Amino acid sequence: MKTPAKRIYNSASVPQEDCVFCKIVSGKLPSYKVYEDDRHIAFLDINPFSVGHTLVTPKRHGETLWDMDDHEIAEIFKVASKVSMGVVAAMNADGFRLMQNNGEAANQAVAHIHVHVIPNKMEDKGKFMNRLKLSGDEMAKVADSIKSEIAKIE
């Protein structure tokens, strides 16, 4: 890990025991989980930009990319790549976007590192994406189909 010249300000910063994503990791809060390994989990975003929008997060708490060492950074993007294959297959999407926000200025709302995996269809091209709200049943169905597509990937 390198020592940054500057800290990144985030008003969403909370003590680790209050961190929403740590609570999801420990199972204290529910989530629509699609993937898990020793060091990561992936679950549906509750307020998705598109159906299938998934968040990949390390189990170890850290606020921004700068709190991860080079190996952890490589690993989370490898997991995000694998998750993207399941998301695109399950949603029959044509492309996907990875997004990773660091700090308040970048609109980071949850101060626990995460990578957004956002599937896109051809008709989304050039369009501004609004947040969606799916029912619990729809979320569960989407999570199941992503989970089973990821399970097919080597």
Among 43-51, 56-64, 89-97, 115-123, the segment contacting Zn ion (CB under 5 A): 56-64
Phi and psi at residue 118, to the nearest 5°: -120, 110
* Strands 115-120 and 40-44, sheet pairing: unpaired
Q: Which residue has tokens 């297959």?
A: 89
Q: Does 57 bind ligand AMP (CB under 6 A)?
A: no
Instruction: Name the strands in the sheet holding 95-99, side by side, starting at the edge strand that comes first in the sequence.
Output: 33-36, 40-44, 54-58, 115-120, 95-99
- Interface residue with ligand AMP, options 26, 47, 92, 148 (CB under 6 A): 47
* 83, containing H or E segment: helix 70-91
**Which residues form the catalytic set?**
114
Per-residue binder mask for ligand AMP (CB under 6 A), 108-127, x = binder: xxx-----------------
Cβ proximity to ligand AMP: between 35 and 122 the closer is 35
Phi-psi label, residue 103: left if phi above 0, alpha if psi -120 to 50, beta otherwise: left
* Strands 54-58 and 33-36, sheet pairing: unpaired
- Interface residue with Zn ion, options 40, 53, 82, 112 (CB under 5 A): 112
Q: Does 60 bind Zn ion (CB under 5 A)?
A: no
Q: Does 11 bind ligand AMP (CB under 6 A)?
A: no
Chain positions contacting ligand AMP, by CB under 6 A: 20, 29, 31, 45-47, 55, 101, 107-110
